Amino acid sequence: MAPIPDASAPTPTTITTSTTMENNTMKFGEYLFKRLAQVHSVNSIFGVPGDFNLGLLDHLYTTDLQWIGGCNELNSGYSADGYSRYTNSLGVLITTYGVGELSAINAVAGAFAEYSKVLHIVGIPTRRAMFDNVEKKKHLHHLVPSLDSLEDSDHFVYTKMVGGISCIAKTITNPATAAEDVDEVIKTIFKHSRPGYLFLPLDMADEIIDASRLITEPAVDFHRVKIEEEANTKLVGDKILSKLYNSKIPAFLADVLVRRYDQGVELLRELVNTTNIHNYTTFMGKSILNEYHPSFVGDYIGIESNKGVKENLESSDCILYFGPHINEINTGHYSFDFTEEQSILLHPDYIKVGSELFRGVHMINVMRYLLSNIDTSRIAAPVPVPYHVSPRYPNIPSRSSISQSVLLKKFESFLQEGDVVVCETGSFMFGIPDFRFKTDVNYIAQGFYLSIGMALPCSVGVGIAMKDQGSKSRLILVEGDGSAQMTIQELSSFPHYGLKPIIFLLNNSGYTVERIIRGENQTYNDIKPWNWSKVFELFEYDGTAEGKLISEKAKQNKHCVSSIVSSEEELSLAMTSVNSKVDDDKLRFFEVILDKLDCPWRFFHMNNYRLFPLTDAGSKALA
């Protein structure tokens, strides 16, 4: 490590930065942001300022990157995750030592669980404070002391916590290798599509480093999967083609990891168009394929599939399973029922053809090989699927004027081509697989980690990404009342950053999912009632120090239109008003009143299979 300068004092808030390289050198903070600005689709940075990252943040303004300040670090982490999911690139999060990074750790864990590319940059104390034998004995603020009060505190106690939720973590201390270290972290995040960490000491931001990599190795292609021509790609590709040519009833199954890698969705859709092979998506893979393609069958979720979907897929003799994410929720509680010999698993880390496992072969390269070498004349001609596909339970009555069955049906019709739908963890999510999405609808949800409250700030990140890319598509957020209360602060980001989503807040008086699992009438599943229709009045101030209420004239043109929807007629009118572009320049917020025990059929169906204890509500719904 290079000699540690005496930098125990905080970096001044006013710094001098270069805007062009002199002798190929630049301050490290400026280099870092210029490097990130080169990465595909990175135009905004999320986070919360703190005293250990302020010196770094000042360098942000030497670039065109936009700072998106979150109300707290957890929300900013969810927003960065949403930005990554929409762009399929980096979502960048910046927090401060201890109190900030720990607040965000749940969001990063969710990103890790679902293969989302989040770069978490943490400002930490100076190198002198971290490494000097005298200085590191001091108890800095934000640090938790050791259990034994006579022992030195561990200044790296937080960095040790991220090992299980990151694919790489580096503490940058050496100016001579800083630029190379940054590139290694970014490349590793793209390679694994998992979060990575950069821990930056306070005094590193102003260190002068060699910045020539900005020119000699620009980061514009860091997101691309390297095209490999190694023998294993050809070997595996030929084995797959052989099985495909010998198949009488082949099928494609698309899962979420297809979306996480560059060109994944495009390559798979092209394979479908080229072959017309019957295709399906998983619970987490929803919207990857064109669901109006003649060969699309439905969403395969094992026993939680609609009638005919499970039977059709499992009758196939060759199932190419693209981008598998094998977990409890995605597999219908491990009710996938096809044999090893039936299946070919194409994963970013391996390919498995029947019982043969090939490590280190990337699915993207194999998909490219298949497209380049497939002989469609040798593939069995498509025939109609043998089993009719239909909803399992088309309608479940409710004690409220609006049932979730009706809501789901109307919502499917409400969607338009190109819509972006962000759905919260909750009962409504389990009705989404019954939809047939219109062309290019993009569905974003945390279908495995299931951290309630994620969707609201995630949709902020999605909205910022859409704005960065000039998208004219509609952003639709489906949120729950209990979930919203977890991260409600970030609602203020919508008007602040000029975002105008269409929000359906489903008010079912608490934690409905939990009520169905256990405790239908227990107080632990209750939440505090809110007057949701008034929530946007919180943002009707002018932002001045005096905090004056905006003028009555301005209030008439406020940024939000909100209403309570408590009947089918009101729901129809609300959706019609949106589709007719009434108040199209404003955020639309609809509070939809539902019964506290109303769920889509799929959730009760899980209970029926004893995947959860069967409740009275579940029994009655399936009677």
For the stretch 19-75, pLDDT in tens is 456 689 999 999 999 999 999 999 999 999 999 999 999 999 999 999 999 999 999
| pLDDT band at 396; cut points 50, 70, 90 | confident
C-alpha distances (whole Å) from 46 to each of 49, 56, 319, 515 are: 10, 14, 40, 35
Give the SS3 label for residue 591: strand
Whether the Cβ atoms of residue 589 and residue 562 lie closer than 8 Å to each other: yes
Average pLDDT, integer, range 236-259: 98
| Candidate ranges 215-224, 513-522, 540-549; pick with highest mean pLDDT | 215-224
Give the rounded percent of residues in the chain with a pLDDT score beyond 90: 78
- Tell me what the mean pLDDT of segment 260-276 comes to: 98
Mean pLDDT of 601-618: 55
Q: How confident is the model at residue 13 (pLDDT cuts 50, 70, 90)?
A: very low
Task: Check residue 152 and give its pLDDT.
Answer: 82
Please give the average per-residue pLDDT across 555-561, as a whole number: 65
Pairing of strands 442-445, 420-423: parallel
Q: Which amino acid is at 559?
A: H
Binding residues: 481, 508, 510
Q: What is the pLDDT of residues 459-515, one digit of tens each?
A: 999 999 999 999 999 999 999 999 999 999 999 999 999 999 999 999 999 999 898
For the chain, give the percent of residues with pLDDT over 70. Answer: 90
Q: Is the pLDDT assigned to residue 576 strictly greater than 60?
A: yes
| Beta-sheet pairing, 250-254 with 318-322 | parallel
pLDDT of residue 145: 87
Q: What's the pLDDT score for residue 558?
A: 66
Type and span of the H or E element at 560: strand 560-565
User: For the chain, what is the radius of gyration of the CA atoms?
Assistant: 26
Higher pLDDT, 167 or 151: 167
Contacts of 332-340 with C-beta under 8 Å, sequence gap 24+, read 332/283, 332/301, 332/302, 332/303, 332/304, 332/305, 333/302, 333/303, 333/304, 333/606, 333/609, 333/611, 334/302, 335/301, 335/302, 335/303, 335/304, 335/609, 336/300, 336/302, 337/302, 337/310, 338/313, 338/314
- Name the E strands within 365-454: 420-423, 442-445
**pLDDT score at 621:** 39
25-216 adopts what CATH topology?
Answer: Rossmann fold (3.40.50)
Cβ atoms 198, 120 nearer than 8 A: yes
Separation in Å, CA 325 to CA 111, 140, 160, 492: 14, 42, 27, 34
Give the integer Cα–Cα distance in Å for 228 and 236. Answer: 13
CB 408 within 8 A of CB 436: no
Q: Is the pLDDT of residue 11 over 90?
A: no
Which residue intervals of the chain bear CATH 3.40.50.970? 25-216, 404-543+550-607
Cα gap 34→38, rounded to integer Å:
7
pLDDT of residue 544: 59
Q: Which CATH number fits domain 230-378: 3.30.70.270, 3.30.1280.10, 3.30.499.10, 3.40.50.1220?
A: 3.40.50.1220
Per the DSSP assignment, residues forming a β-bridge with 502 are: 476, 588
What CATH superfamily classification does 404-543+550-607 receive? Answer: Thiamin diphosphate (ThDP)-binding fold, Pyr/PP domains (3.40.50.970)
Nearest-10 crossing angle of helices 455-468, 73-87? 50
Query: pLDDT at position 28, please?
Result: 98
Burial string for 378-400 (b: 16+ CB within 10 Å, else e) reads ebbeeeebebeeeeebeebebeb
Give the pLDDT of residue 622.
Answer: 38
Where is the binding site for Mg(2+), in residues? 481, 508, 510
**How far apart are alpha carbons 113 and 165 in whole angstroms?**
8
Question: Beta strands 343-346 and 350-353: pairing type?
Answer: antiparallel
Mean pLDDT for the chain overall = 90
Residue pair 432/462 in contact (Cβ under 8 Å)? The answer is no
Q: Where in the chain is the domain with CATH 3.40.50.1220?
A: 230-378
Instruction: Output the CA torsion sign for 402, 408, 413, 415.
Output: positive
Confidence of residue 138 (pLDDT cuts 50, 70, 90): confident
Confidence of residue 139 (pLDDT cuts 50, 70, 90): confident
- Residue 339: predicted pLDDT: 96
